[in-house]
């Protein structure tokens, strides 16, 4: 069998949710489903309110992922860094769990002497390079995001360049929210890479609502659907035994 | 979750001058002298270990630092001098805030790369790159790629002047994807290649080191034809002119190895004089120069003729006077 698949939701937003279920709760649910939620908060000229920032951090926290607040200009490098870090973090988490099982409760990587830790890191690196990755990108397209979308587009193509250089197989899906009629709109169906995203963000919403919670909920649902389709919905969270450790 | 706080949320560990850092496992004691710098994965301090000066890097994240230690170790074992700093020790520093992993390496004293090449003639950037390419070749032979190659990761040591790299955080095994990069030096950013770790990835960054010499503030990409942007910017700086072929081939990924690039670069430095007067001559095409030379020669010929005539006139004049004198004598 393959080494299993890492699953991530990457949420790009510039503010606080203002309608529907609590995105922090949905994010916790995603984590239970073995999906990591990473959030990137995009700021314009330093105006992202305290409430927005704390929500962004809380969503990533409860989703077992990483959050980062960033200026639109630095988006490209941040997107790829957050994705990569989150992958390593997930693998690291599983490795830690294994260590606790072997060495007993409360033991983790740092309780190993540095030499052994180094050997283990080689394995973590190797897995990060070779595991498959499904990444569901959820872009906030509410009115205030309008001028940031070209930068988002560029950052996503850049992410595709980065991930394509890995050995493992990648799959991207791109959705935006709020949708015209539904919570989210599908922009690009699962695809191995983004070649061009020009025109992807044409279907812009101009409404002021930001239904982050419902959008995340829909993302989780779509992920589950994909797992079922593949017929591997029992325990898709990768198991280290499969990797031959 | 416990896992999380050992990774991203932990506070960075600030060390103060004269503070002692004693490792949990190996019990070595280091006295901190001052901070040297900080990077993506941690902060580097100058420290004293016995009577020796060392560089100590401390991180809040045990993962990335373990990778770096692996790389440092690897090259300390296999290679002789020059492939990055020597590895000395790795350990954990236990404080009340938590456990901070650190590693210790050789302290390399030197001048920063960019100021060094900016203060000197354009030949220096070429010479340092010749040195660098030798080390890169060794690294590539070992199956590694430097990755995040930029002036900030290089130092020039004295007596003799020698370039050395100081940060191994971006080193990646050939065939994997590049771990760390800086946009200006990254071919992926310019749309001129993938982020797969291969020889040509490093050689792209090497080429960008040359152009960075004359654009210390760097610049951003504009439009889709990055190749053209880069070449245009390069040509705007006349002092870089001799390196144009190296730069062009480097950014286009046309070098199969650092050795080939090095050979060509040596050839160029040997046959070019970088002093300003000669640069002016180089600017005008050779043909024009030759034409000019011919003109001068012709003028000289004319001068010869004029001179000959003059002598003739003077001689005949003297001859006439002499004849008159003779007549005078006979009369």
Does residue B136 form part of some domain? Answer: yes
CATH for A5-243 (2.40.50.100, 3.30.360.10, 1.10.10.10, 3.40.50.410): 3.40.50.410
Q: Which residues pair with B100 in a beta bridge?
A: B93
Of B106, B128, B146, the position where a domain reaches its end is B106
Instruction: Say if residue B79 is in the same domain as residue B145.
Output: no
Report yes or no: A54 at the B interface, CB cutoff 8 Å: no
Does residue B314 form part of some domain? Answer: no
Does residue B307 form part of some domain? Answer: no
Burial annotation B101-134 (CB, 10 A radius, 16+ → b, else e): bbbbbbbbebeebbebbbeeebbbbbbbbbbbbe
Q: Which residues of A touch B73 (CB under 8 A)?
A: 118
Instruction: Say if residue B57 is in the same domain as residue B122.
Output: no
Does residue B30 form part of some domain? Answer: yes
B148 counts as catalytic: yes
pLDDT digit string (tens) for chain B, length 331 residues: 223 333 344 567 889 999 999 999 999 999 999 999 887 778 999 999 999 999 999 987 767 788 889 888 888 776 566 678 999 999 999 998 888 999 999 999 999 999 999 999 999 999 999 999 999 999 999 999 999 999 999 999 998 899 999 988 889 999 999 988 999 999 999 999 999 999 999 999 999 999 999 999 999 998 889 999 999 999 999 999 999 999 999 999 999 999 999 999 999 999 988 876 544 455 444 444 454 454 555 555 556 666 677 777 777 777 777 777 777 766 5
Q: How far apart are the first and last CA of chain B?
A: 135
Instruction: Say if residue B35 is in the same domain as residue B158.
Output: no
Instruction: Say if residue B148 is in the same domain as residue B243.
Output: yes
The helix/strand/coil state of A36 is strand
Specify the CATH number for the domain of residue B134. 1.10.510.10
Cβ(A39)–Cβ(A60) below 8 Å: yes
Residue-range domain boundaries for chain A: 5-243
Instruction: Say if residue B46 is in the same domain as residue B192.
Output: no
Instruction: Say if residue B178 is in the same domain as residue B264.
Output: yes
How do residues B141-181 score in pLDDT, each as one tens digit?
999 999 999 999 999 999 889 999 998 888 999 999 998 89
Cβ(B172)–Cβ(B158) below 8 Å: no
Instruction: Say if residue B86 is in the same domain as residue B35.
Output: yes
Determine the Cα–Cα distance for residues B232 and A12; give it in Å rounded to an integer.
Answer: 36
What tokens does A226 get? 């994909």
DSSP string, B195-255: -B--HHHHHHHHHHHHHHHH-TT-----SS-HHHHHHHHHHT-GGGGGGHHHHHHHHTT--
Instruction: Say if residue B61 is in the same domain as residue B75.
Output: yes
As a 3-state breakdown, chain A gives helix, strand, coil percent values, each rounded to 5, of: 50, 20, 30
Chain centroid to CA A159: 12
Closest chain A CA to residue B25: A113
Does residue B329 form part of some domain? Answer: no
Determine the Cα–Cα distance for residues B18 and A44; give it in Å rounded to an integer.
Answer: 42
The helix/strand/coil state of B86 is coil
* Residue B315 φ then ψ, to 5°: -65, -45
Q: Which residues of A touch B175 (CB under 8 A)?
A: 167
Does residue B288 form part of some domain? Answer: no
DSSP string, B145-182: E--S--GGGEEEETTTTEEEE---TT-EETTSB-S---
Low-confidence ranges of chain A (pLDDT < 50): 1, 233-245
Does this model's pTM top 0.90? My answer is: no
Nearest to A243 by CA among A166, A163, A132, A165: A132
Determine the Cα–Cα distance for residues A206 and B112; give it in Å rounded to an integer.
Answer: 50
Cβ(B91)–Cβ(A114) below 8 Å: yes
Tally Cβ neighbours within 10 Å of residue A135.
24
Of B106, B131, B149, the position where a domain reaches its end is B106
Closest chain B CA to residue A57: B9
Counting Cα atoms < 13 Å in the Cβ hemisphere of B294 gives 6
Structure confidence at residue A204 (pLDDT): 62
- For residue B45, what are the domain limits? 11-106
Question: Looking at B91, B135, B148, B167, which residue is catalytic?
Answer: B148
Q: Which residues of A touch B101 (CB under 8 A)?
A: 110, 114, 117
Closest chain B CA to residue A129: B176
**Least Cα separation, residue B20 to chain A (angstroms):** 20
Of B274, B294, B317, the position where a domain reaches its end is B274
Instruction: Say if residue B82 is in the same domain as residue B46.
Output: yes
Determine the Cα–Cα distance for residues B80 and B77; give it in Å rounded to an integer.
Answer: 8
Domain count, chain B: 2
Specify the CATH number for the domain of residue B49. 3.30.200.20
Structure confidence at residue B278 (pLDDT): 47
Determine the Cα–Cα distance for residues A5 and A1; give it in Å rounded to an integer.
Answer: 11
Q: Which residues of A touch B183 (CB under 8 A)?
A: 76-77
Q: How far apart are the first and last CA of chain A?
A: 14
Structure confidence at residue B154 (pLDDT): 95
Residues near B238 by beta carbon (within 8 Å), at least 6 away in sequence: B279, B283
Burial annotation B245-275 (CB, 10 A radius, 16+ → b, else e): ebbebbbbbebebbbebbebbeebbeebebe
């Amino acid at each position: 069998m393959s080494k299993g698949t890492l699953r991530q939701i990457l949420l790009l937003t510039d503010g606080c949710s203002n309608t529907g279920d609590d995105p922090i709760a949905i994010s916790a649910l995603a984590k239970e489903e073995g999906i990591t939620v990473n959030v990137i908060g995009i700021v314009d000229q330093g105006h992202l309110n305290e409430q927005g920032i704390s929500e962004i951090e809380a969503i990533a926290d409860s989703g077992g992922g990483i959050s980062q607040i960033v200026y639109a200009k630095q988006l490209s490098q941040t997107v790829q860094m957050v994705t990569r870090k989150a992958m390593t973090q997930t693998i690291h988490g599983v490795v830690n769990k294994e260590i606790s099982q072997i060495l007993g409760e409360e033991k983790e990587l740092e309780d190993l002497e540095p030499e052994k830790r180094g050997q283990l890191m080689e394995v973590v690196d190797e897995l990060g390079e070779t595991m498959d990755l499904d990444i569901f990108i959820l872009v906030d397209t509410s009115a205030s995001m309008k001028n940031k979308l070209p930068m988002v587009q560029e950052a996503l193509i850049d992410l595709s360049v980065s991930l394509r250089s890995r050995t493992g197989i990648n799959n991207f899906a791109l959705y935006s929210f709020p949708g015209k009629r539904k919570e989210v709109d599908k922009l690009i169906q699962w695809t191995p890479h983004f070649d061009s995203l020009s025109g992807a963000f044409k279907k812009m919403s101009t409404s002021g609502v930001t239904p982050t919670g419902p959008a995340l909920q829909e993302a989780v649902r779509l992920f589950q659907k994909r797992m079922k389709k593949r017929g591997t919905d029992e325990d898709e969270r990768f198991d280290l035994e499969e990797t031959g450790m | 979750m416990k896992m999380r706080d050992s990774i991203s949320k932990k506070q960075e560990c600030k060390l103060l001058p004269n503070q002692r850092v004693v490792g949990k496992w190996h019990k070595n004691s280091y006295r901190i002298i001052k901070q040297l710098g900080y990077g993506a994965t941690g902060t580097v301090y100058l420290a004293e270990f016995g009577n020796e000066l060392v560089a100590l890097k401390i991180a809040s994240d045990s993962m990335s630092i373990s990778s770096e230690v692996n790389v440092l170790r690897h090259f300390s074992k296999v290679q002789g001098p020059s492939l990055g700093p020597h590895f000395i020790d790795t350990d954990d520093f236990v404080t009340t805030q938590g456990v901070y992993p650190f590693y210790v390496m050789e302290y390399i004293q030197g001048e920063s790369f960019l100021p060094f090449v900016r203060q000197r003639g354009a030949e220096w950037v070429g010479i340092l790159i010749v040195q660098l390419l030798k080390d890169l070749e060794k690294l590539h032979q070992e199956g590694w790629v430097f990755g995040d190659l930029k002036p900030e990761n290089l130092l020039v040591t004295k007596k003799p002047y020698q370039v050395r790299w100081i940060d191994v955080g971006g080193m990646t095994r050939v065939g994997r994807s590049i771990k760390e990069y800086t946009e200006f030096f990254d071919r992926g950013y310019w749309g001129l290649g993938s982020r797969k770790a291969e020889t040509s990835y490093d050689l792209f960054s090497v080429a960008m080191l040359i152009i960075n010499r004359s654009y210390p503030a760097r610049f951003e990409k504009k439009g889709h034809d990055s190749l053209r942007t880069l070449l245009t910017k390069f040509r705007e700086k006349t002092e870089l002119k001799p390196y144009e072929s190296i730069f062009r081939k480097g950014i286009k990924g046309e070098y199969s190895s650092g050795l080939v690039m090095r050979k060509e670069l040596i050839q160029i430095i040997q046959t070019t004089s970088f002093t300003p007067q000669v640069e002016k001559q180089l600017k005008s095409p050779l043909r024009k120069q030759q034409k000019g030379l011919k003109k001068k020669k012709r003028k000289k010929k004319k001068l010869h003729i004029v001179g000959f005539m003059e002598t003739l006139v003077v001689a005949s004049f003297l001859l006439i006077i002499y004849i008159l004198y003779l007549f005078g004598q006979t009369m």
